[in-house]
């Protein structure tokens, strides 16, 4: 059912990200680190432009969205980040080493987004697609609604 993740004791999200990238033969540049830090610093899904603004401020120079998109795409394909389709935004992935079809719960009031992994649900979605003669690559399972705080 629900998957239990071990925590990265003491190891920062960012250094785990670095490790993951390097294991897959990609460089961990200043820019990539800055984008990752910015992404991870948001407490809700961030758009590429949010991230570009944040990195721009931190570095005191203009960083174009374009560059951020490139890096976000890279992160998504390395499983360091996920795209929240219904919000046109991205979140950092705590567990780049665990592959899951994940489920996002996005509060329509405050924007807070929580992340579930439930392989039996996502497996059910994949199976339903297969039964319809469709080859599933990437399930998108998100729920819009109200979080606990916003009722």
Q: Which residues are near DNA by CB under 7 A?
A: 26-27, 29-32, 47-50, 61-67, 69-71, 73, 88-89
**Binding of its own copies by 118 (CB under 8 A):** yes
Give the integer Cα–Cα distance in Å for 75 and 20.
10
> Which residue of 10, 25, 60, 133 would you call a contact of its own copies, by CB under 8 A?
133
Measure the CA–CA gap between 17 and 94, rounded to whole angstroms: 9
- Residue 7's binding partner, choosing from its own copies, DNA, none, with beta-carbon cut-off 5 to 8 A by kind? none
Cβ at position 9, least distance to its own copies in Å:
24
In the DSSP assignment, the letter for residue 86 is G
Helix (H/G/I), strand (E/B), else coil: 9? coil
Which positions ≥6 away from 133 have C-beta within 8 Å?
A: none
| Interaction site with its own copies (CB under 8 A) | 85-86, 103, 105, 107-108, 114, 116, 118, 121, 124-126, 128-129, 132-148, 151
């Amino acid at each position: 059912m629900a998957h239990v993740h071990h925590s990265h004791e003491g190891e920062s999200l960012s250094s785990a990200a670095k490790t993951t990238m390097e294991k897959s033969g990609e460089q961990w540049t200043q820019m990539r680190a800055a984008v990752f830090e910015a992404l991870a610093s948001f407490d809700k899904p961030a758009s590429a432009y949010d991230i570009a603004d944040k990195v721009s401020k931190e570095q005191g120079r203009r960083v174009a969205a374009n560059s951020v998109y490139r890096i976000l795409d890279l992160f998504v394909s390395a499983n360091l980040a996920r795209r929240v389709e219904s919000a046109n935004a991205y979140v950092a992935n705590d567990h780049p080493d665990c592959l899951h079809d994940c489920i996002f719960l996005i509060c329509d009031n405050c924007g807070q987004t929580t992340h579930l992994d439930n392989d039996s649900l996502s497996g059910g979605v994949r199976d339903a697609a297969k039964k319809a003669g469709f080859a599933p690559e990437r399930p998108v399972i998100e729920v819009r609604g109200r979080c606990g705080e916003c009722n």
